């Protein structure tokens, strides 16, 4: 991950809450603010002590923060921007405890901010994966596997399915089961039928040729890791980084929020060549609305 926007750059550009509000206004109204009453783009000025701008002609007010993750938040915009900066400068994410320490806020506030920022770190998933695509599934979180004595009160592991273009995009989804219907649903939803699909010998993928895909596999059970063009090292590297982030950074991720963390990881992977991750995430406020 490249980083051309340094902390020094951040501190010079964003000194006050007003600087941050102006930035959000410029992102959302990149072509100028169109007044609903005047029905045209008009000059707007900021109203003192409020987070709104007023039309110079008729006085109609607009709020750049409406329907964004910043809407109705009591946290300073400067803290929001700093949190986004901190989170986007890491390779594997930033836990709420660390964000709490760096912002000097409560854990509850840091946790909520992290989840709201994570909503910005989602890919739009335009089009289907094509070319050569590696597919695999993995288990994350919980315990209970490969144990001499299993405690049935323990939280079970969750399934994450991944599909990655060689040299391209990643799609990763939290699914309920490794059954063939669950795998088929994701493959048909995300992979071009003309793609070459590479997997291991897991039985759930045996159906791919019947579905019209060019399917190739390697048998890891027989220590076969490459057979011509057939290998799955790319998706296995994805799992290695994902688990390092979840286990090493966040330590515990609930079933409810697992997809959000997977989305964050996927976003980082797909934008790994971005020179300014902060700007990339901040500009997502236009397309990602508050829920």
Tell me which of 239 and 125 has the higher pLDDT. 239
Averaged pLDDT, 279-286: 93
Is the per-residue pLDDT at 148 higher than 50?
A: no
Please report the pLDDT score of residue 25 as a whole number: 96
- Least confident residue range of 75-79, 174-178, 248-252, 271-275: 248-252
Q: Are 59 and 35 in contact (CB under 8 A)?
A: no
Give the pLDDT mean for 152-180.
Answer: 90
Instruction: Report helix, strand or coil for 219.
Output: coil
Q: Which residues, including other chains, have CB under 8 Å from residue 265's CB and lie 6 or more apart? A: 92, 93, 172, 241, 242, 245
| Gap between the Cα atoms of 291 and 287, Å rounded | 12
Question: How far is it, in rounded angstroms, from Cα 93 to Cα 84?
Answer: 11
Q: What is the pTM of this model?
A: 0.88
Q: How far is CA 173 from the centre of its chain?
A: 12
CB 62 within 8 A of CB 46: no
Band of residue 153 on the pLDDT scale cut at 50, 70, 90: low
Terminal alpha carbon distance of the chain: 30
> Given a cut of 70, is residue 106 above it in pLDDT?
yes
Is it the case that residue 37 has pLDDT exceeding 50?
Answer: yes
pLDDT at 101 over 70: yes
d(CA 121, CA 167): 21
Decide if pLDDT at 215 tops 60. Answer: yes
Percent of the chain with pLDDT over 70: 93
Residue 145 has pLDDT above 60, yes or no: no
Residue 6 pLDDT class (50, 70, 90 cuts): very high
The tokens for 109 are 């506030």
pLDDT given at position 73: 94
Q: How confident is the model at residue 155 (pLDDT cuts 50, 70, 90)?
A: low
pLDDT at 210: 94
Q: What is the pLDDT of residue 291?
A: 47
Is the pLDDT reported for residue 173 higher than 50? yes
The CA–CA distances, whole Å, from 19 to 22, 55, 78, 81 equal 5, 19, 8, 10
21-30, 155-164, 221-230: which is most confident:
21-30
Mean pLDDT over residues 135-139, rounded? Answer: 96
- Spell out the domains of the chain, with CATH numbers in brackets: 132-255 (3.30.420.10)
């Amino acid at each position: 991950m490249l980083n051309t926007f340094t902390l020094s750059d951040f501190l010079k550009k964003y000194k006050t809450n007003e600087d941050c509000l102006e930035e959000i206004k410029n992102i959302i109204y990149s072509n100028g603010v169109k007044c609903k009453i005047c029905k045209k783009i008009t000059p707007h000025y900021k109203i003192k002590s409020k987070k709104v701008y007023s039309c110079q002609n008729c006085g109609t007010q607009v709020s750049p923060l409406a329907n964004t993750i910043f809407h109705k938040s009591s946290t300073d915009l400067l803290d929001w921007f700093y949190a986004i900066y901190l989170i986007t400068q890491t390779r594997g994410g930033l836990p709420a405890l660390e964000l709490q320490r760096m912002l000097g806020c409560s854990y509850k506030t840091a946790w909520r901010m992290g989840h709201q920022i994570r909503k910005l770190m989602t890919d739009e998933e335009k089009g289907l994966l094509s070319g050569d695509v590696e597919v695999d599934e993995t288990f994350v979180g919980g315990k209970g596997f490969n144990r001499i004595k299993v405690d049935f009160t323990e939280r079970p592991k969750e399934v994450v399915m991944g599909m990655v273009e060689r040299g391209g995009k990643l799609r990763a989804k939290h699914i309920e089961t490794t059954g063939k219907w669950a795998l088929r649903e994701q493959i048909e939803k995300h992979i071009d039928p003309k793609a070459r699909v590479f997997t291991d010998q897991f039985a759930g993928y045996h159906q791919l040729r019947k579905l019209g895909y060019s399917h190739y596999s390697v048998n890891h059970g027989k220590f076969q890791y490459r057979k011509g063009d057939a290998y799955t090292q790319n998706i296995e590297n994805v799992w290695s980084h994902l688990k390092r982030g979840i286990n090493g950074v966040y330590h515990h991720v609930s079933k409810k929020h697992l997809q959000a963390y997977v989305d964050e990881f996927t976003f980082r992977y797909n934008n790994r060549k971005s020179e300014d991750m902060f700007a990339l995430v901040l500009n997502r406020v236009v397309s990602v609305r508050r829920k």
